[in-house]
Amino acid sequence: MKLAFSTLGVPGMPMTDVARLAAGNGYHGVELRAHPEEPVHPGIGADERARVAGEFRDAGVDILTVAGYVRVAAEGPDEPVLTGLRELLALAHDLGAANVRVFPGGGDRDPAEADASAAARLGDAAPYATELGVRLLLETHDSHRTGADAARVLGPVGHGSVGAIWDVMHPWLGGEDPATSYAALSPHLGYVQVKDIASADDTTPLALGAGVLPLTECVELLSREGWDGWLCWEYEKRWYPQAQELPPLLAPGRDHLLRLLADAA
């Protein structure tokens, strides 16, 4: 398996430094948070896109994903959502990223209506994703926090350019065990986001292995099933300023994941 980390853990860090940080700590890739407060987002121009792509290429680090904030199950008209998807897909293509992350964002909508909206919008965007060679990945999050929730959307879409990110925290918080999550998501699985937290009531990010999330069980399951994709550490420093700084944790986090992988082999 390949290892990546999310720039959510190093908010605002220049891309040159992110690429250097990843390469220096033995990570194969990064997930770039695509928000206007960050250096990379859909509003940057062609020259800046080319510069960023070149920096990561020169560092030997993949841009795994453009992590966007489009909410595909949100109430309201389709066109703003589809425009947002197209913008993120174009950005990912220009950067050489393999994926675009989207959220469900169904809020308090009737689940069937939210599912239908999300499936229709992802289905509409899928041909453009295929054309650009980028995959749209729905994260287990908010209104669709479990694997079963996400599968209700992804099954009807049934398109190879649309898949899932298994964020291990949200299904666990939703009471879904890893085996059930994997069974629901495996036909669609793009990659796995790992993290650790103190408890269900305190989701402040911790160093990998220092909290309660079933990372060992998840890695053993993935290895047993022969899954050989990406593990991406999403350390949510942006939302928890009191959390430790991520850079000193990166090398120990890599070593922890490598130990889990070795033990599961």
| Sequence ranges of the domains in the chain | 2-264
- Look at residue 223 and tell me whether its pLDDT is greater than 90: yes
Number of neighbours of residue 245 by Cβ within 10 angstroms: 10
pTM for this entry: 0.97
What would the mean pLDDT of 59-86 be, rounded to a whole number? 98
pLDDT per position as a tens digit, 90-118: 999 999 999 999 999 999 999 999 999 99
The first and second tokens of residue 147, run together, are: 């694997």
Beta-strand pair 162-167/202-205? unpaired
The torsion angles phi and psi of 190, rounded to 5 degrees, stand at -85, -55
- CA 177, distance to chain mean position in Å, is 19
Contact criterion met (CB below 8 Å) for 16 and 24 = no
Would you state the pLDDT for residue 265? Answer: 83
Tokens at residue 176, please? 């879904």
Sign of the CA dihedral 139, 248, 214, 189?
positive
77 vs 83: CA distance, rounded Å: 11
To which residue do tokens 């599912």 refer?
115
Amino acid at 233: W
The predicted pLDDT at position 100 comes to 98
Measure Cα distances from 24 to 28, 59, 84, 111, 244 in Å: 10, 9, 34, 44, 19
Give percent above pLDDT 90 in the chain: 100
CATH number for 2-264 (one of 3.30.420.140, 3.20.20.150, 3.40.50.720, 3.40.50.2000): it is 3.20.20.150
Residue 138: alpha-carbon gap to chain centroid? 8
Two tokens, residue 235: 């350390």
pLDDT (0 to 100) of residue 34: 98
- How far apart CA 142 and CA 91 sit, in angstroms, is 25
Task: For residue range 10-64, list pLDDT tens digits in order.
Answer: 999 999 999 999 999 999 999 999 999 999 999 999 999 999 999 999 999 999 9
DSSP 206-242: --TTSSSS-HHHHHHHHHHTT---EEEE---GGG-TT
Using H for helix, E for strand and C for coil, what is the string for 103-151?
ECCCCCCCHHHHHHHHHHHHHHHHHHHHHHCCEEEEECECCECCHHHHH
**pLDDT > 70 in the chain, percent:** 100
Q: What is the DSSP letter of 7?
A: G
Instruction: Report whether 100 contacts 92 (CB < 8 A).
Output: yes
Q: How confident is the model at residue 241, as a pLDDT?
A: 93
pLDDT (mean) for 122-149: 98
Please state the separation of Cα 76 from the chain's center in Å: 24
Average pLDDT over residues 222-234: 96
Show the tokens assigned to 86: 């197209």
**Both tokens assigned to 20:** 């250097």
